[in-house]
Chain A
Amino acid sequence: EPEVTQTPSHQVTQMGQEVILRCVPISNHLYFYWYRQILGQKVEFLVSFYNNEISEKSEIFDDQFSVERPDGSNFTLKIRSTKLEDSAMYFCASSGLRDTGIYGYTFGSGTRLTVV
């Protein structure tokens, strides 16, 4: 079964450093998303991406964050200057033909980001 692949599975970084989280969405999916989940809290939407541009973003997704699809397969989330409160699981997801959830969203296994 097709899956969304995320790397690395765990990243530890120092406060103020830049990190790039990588995702390979399902190959024929067109919509891509990033979510985060702080330990013990609910999943929070960060950003959706379609046709090489951001289609929607949350209040969390401020100027410290950026997304990119540098080639035909990868989808990245960059945090420019990490803060302690950025520590969380970050999930990438992709969906099929329509951004309405009708075909559901496939999530990756996540990257656990720890900022020290």
Chain B
Amino acid sequence: TQLLEQSPQFLSIQEGENLTVYCNSSSVFSSLQWYRQEPGEGPVLLVTVVTGGEVKKLKRLTFQFGDARKDSSLHITAAQPGDTGLYLCGSRLTFGEGTQLTVNP
């Protein structure tokens, strides 16, 4: 069974700070997705990473896929209150527990 472990589980920072969320596994994935989920809503896809070592940027968000395709990270630069939410990594069959990010003004 493929498992994805996300860390940290909770993260509370001040506006303007940088942060990194990690998604780790002992399994190899053909691709990983990052989502953002609001309370009572479905996950909204942010990015898909496919190639080992891949880096994708989405404005202030930078996503990396590990060389061995077992781990991924999400880095947010200069976080804003609008970034507050639950960030999930996942594949077709499995999801991480999520990181609940709170950005305080």
Contact = CB atoms under 8 A, between A and B. Distances in A.
Interface of A: 4, 33, 41-45, 48, 56, 58, 89, 91, 93, 99-110, 112
Contacts, number: 60
Nearest to B95: A43
Interface in B59-81: none
Given A56-B93, A107-B42, A43 B30 contact: no
Nearest to A43: B95
Given A100-B30, A102-B50, A42 B98 contact: yes
Given A91-B43, A110-B42, A101 B95 contact: no
Interface of B: 30-33, 35, 40-45, 48, 50, 88, 90-98
A43 B42 CA distance: 10
A33 to B, nearest CB: 7
Given A91-B42, A107-B42, A107-B43, A43 B90 contact: yes
A110 B40 CA distance: 8
A82 B33 CA distance: 31
Given A100-B31, A102-B48, A108 B93 contact: no
A101 B94 contact: no
9 contacts: A42-B88, A44-B95, A48-B92, A58-B93, A100-B30, A101-B92, A102-B48, A105-B33, A107-B45
Given A42-B95, A104-B48, A107-B45, 5 more contacts: A45-B93, A101-B48, A102-B31, A110-B42, A112-B40
Contacts of A106: 45
B97 A42 contact: yes
A91 B88 CA distance: 15
Contacts of A48: 92
A45 B94 contact: yes
